[in-house]
Structure 1
Amino acid sequence: MARFSANLGFLWAGQPLLDGIAAAARAGFKAIELHWPYDTPAGAVRDACARHGLTLLGVNTVRGDVAAGENGLGALPGREAEFQAAVDQSLAFCRYAGGSAIHCMAGRVPPEARTAARETFLDNLRRASDKAAAADIMLLLEPLNSADAPNYFYSTADEGAAIVQALGRPNVRLMFDCYHVGRVGNDVIATMARLWPTIGHIQIAAVPGRAEPDGGTLDYRPVLAAVDRLGYAGWVGAEYKPVGDTDAGLGWVEALGAHR
């Protein structure tokens, strides 16, 4: 049966991070995921997780100049030093706070620049993989659907899996976000089964609205059954945007027959 982690990038997002950690524990979650926690000291996050009995999973590398529309640096030629600095920042945070994974954000790339961007991303990930392996930390690659993230370097799980396979590094894996997979129109269960050897983490949200996962067009009950059948032993990240109060919307956990 699936175990859910609370993604505090979206859940209890209006609260300071340490308050969100406490809220996740009160709601019964045993693990959390973060987006960009770097304004909060890693030691404070570590202590809060220990105090509330929570496992910290992963964080994201920074996006770059958000005001200019940047959404990651890993696949941007000429920005290699900035991306490696972002990886170093995430590694330092994970080492101190107790995290075990880093989502390496690729960034927006115009179609005509994709070939050069792919080589840049591969080179960047090789360097990052060596550093992460020394700390026993996994690097995760997450394609983002083109409706939500226009011109993001990759938008499909197959593209992400191809990068994982090209690298052949055991600590570089695919972040299989069922929302993004379903949002581009792919069969979530069939795609998951086909790409299973590349997958390192799974996330869920309603399709197409990204709200609580018991709504929308994607029925997560067979998806979670497939996750169990495939032998997944990790956490399933609840990375959705609550339609209202986060606590009031948590009935989806029981509705899907799973637990936190």
Structure 2
Amino acid sequence: MPIHLGPYADRLSAHLGFLYTEHPLPERFAAAARDGFRIMEHPNLFATPAKNVAGWMRDSGLTLVQTSFPAGDPSRGEKGFAALPDRAQAFRESIEPTLDYVEEIGGCRFVHAMAGVRPAGVAEERLLDTYRESLGLAADAAAKRGMEIMIEPIGPGSIANYVVDDPLVAVRLIREVGRPNVKLLFDAYHCHCLGHDPAALIREHAALIAHVQIADDPGRHEPGTGTIAFDPIFEALAAVGYAGSVGCEYHPATTTEEGLGWIKGAA
């Protein structure tokens, strides 16, 4: 059965951290463009000078829709650190350089502030207090540049002990931070794996959603390979008037190109 993308057929974003990984990073931009993508995203471009990324985008005709603050030290198992009390100052010091970098690339409005993995022995409320403070500082700095800060809830199937591991926690945090440019990065895959109905949450919290990502379950492969019903998700997005893009953040079951049939066969 084809997936009915509706108005989102032209708004799919190639997540170049997941797709086209059979190519070196500079070649992924052109590969995505050849396959019809006009939008891309990537969470960790900082090892590459911004002018290089901007050049690859210009040459390919792609635009960057969203990226992330640095995720931290992988040797320490860090998956972001905006909620970690002993790393709060490091996050604060990363805000302006990150926004400078994103601004130099050009065109990107959304920056994801990863909360991080719960350290042993630190109270949950202290982690959330730290995250709220970090989000407020980042949002105030981003607002001066016309940018928005995003929270993504990530379940234990992807990152164990992640601080923000449920969409309803993210919704509460957004409201508590109280900044109009703090929004939700809504990943339908994480939502489904956590036992929620993605379409229902879209309809209930549409005003908070800045960006959407998709993958199927099990395997986190391309839509159509698993059990998630995507038609209700796209119908809900259309019903609430979601005007953003939809990130293809999945691991291709084989190669990226071979797995694009779900797009080409969509109605």
TM-score interval (norm. to shorter): over 0.9
Determine the C-alpha separation between the residues in 2 that align with 1:149 and 1:100: 25
Determine the C-alpha separation between the residues in 1 that align with 2:157 and 2:119: 15
Task: Tell me the TM-score normalised to structure 1 length.
Answer: 0.95
Q: Paired residue for 2:90?
A: 82
Determine the C-alpha separation between the residues in 1 that align with 2:65 and 2:46: 15
With over 3 angstroms needed to count, the CA separation of the structure-2 counterparts of 1:196 and 1:256, relative to structure 1, is: same
Determine the C-alpha separation between the residues in 1 that align with 2:91 and 2:218: 31
Unaligned runs of at least 5 residues, structure 2 = 1-6
Structure 1 contact 6–238 (Cα < 8 Å) conserved: yes
The counterpart of 2:13, out of the listed 5, 30, 52, is: 5
Determine the C-alpha separation between the residues in 1 that align with 2:31 and 2:93: 31
The counterpart of 2:53, out of the listed 45, 48, 71, is: 45
Deviation per residue, 1:132-191 (Å, 9 max, x gap): 111111111001011221110011111111111111211110000001000111111111
Q: Paired residue for 2:264?
A: 254
- After the TM superposition, which of the residue ranges 146-155 and 107-116 deviates more from structure 2? 107-116
Aligned residue for 1:57, secondary structure, equals: strand
Q: Paired residue for 1:109?
A: 118
The 5-angstrom pairing of residues 221-260 of structure 1 reads 221-257=231-267
* RMSD value, Cα: 1.4
Q: Paired residue for 1:203?
A: 213
Q: Paired residue for 1:31?
A: 39
Determine the C-alpha separation between the residues in 2 that align with 1:14 and 1:139: 30
Deviation per residue, 1:8-41 (Å, 9 max, x gap): 0100124222211111111100100011011111
Cα deviation for residue 238 of structure 1 reads 0.6
Deviation per residue, 1:188-225 (Å, 9 max, x gap): 11111112121111110002321001221111122111
Structure 2 contact 46–70 (Cα < 8 Å) conserved: no
Cα deviation for residue 110 of structure 1 reads 4.7
Q: Paired residue for 2:72?
A: 64
Aligned residue for 1:119, secondary structure, equals: helix
Aligned residue for 2:247, secondary structure, equals: strand
Cα deviation for residue 256 of structure 1 reads 3.4
Determine the C-alpha separation between the residues in 2 that align with 1:15 and 1:169: 39
Alignment-mate amino acid for residue 258 of structure 2: A
Runs of 4+ in structure 1 over 4 Å off = none
Aligned pair count reads 257
Alignment-mate amino acid for residue 148 of structure 1: S
Determine the C-alpha separation between the residues in 2 that align with 1:147 and 1:195: 23
Q: Paired residue for 2:81?
A: 73
1:186 and 2:196 are equivalent in the alignment: yes
- After the TM superposition, which of the residue ranges 106-115 and 71-80 deviates more from structure 2? 106-115
Structure 1 contact 72–106 (Cα < 8 Å) conserved: yes
Structure 1 contact 179–208 (Cα < 8 Å) conserved: no
Alignment-mate amino acid for residue 111 of structure 2: I
1:15 and 2:61 are equivalent in the alignment: no
Determine the C-alpha separation between the residues in 1 that align with 2:33 and 2:105: 17
Determine the C-alpha separation between the residues in 1 that align with 2:151 and 2:228: 23
Structure 1 contact 17–37 (Cα < 8 Å) conserved: no
Deviation per residue, 1:28-64 (Å, 9 max, x gap): 0010001101111111111221222211111111221
Unaligned runs of at least 5 residues, structure 1 = none
Cα deviation for residue 231 of structure 1 reads 0.4
Determine the C-alpha separation between the residues in 2 that align with 1:169 and 1:255: 40
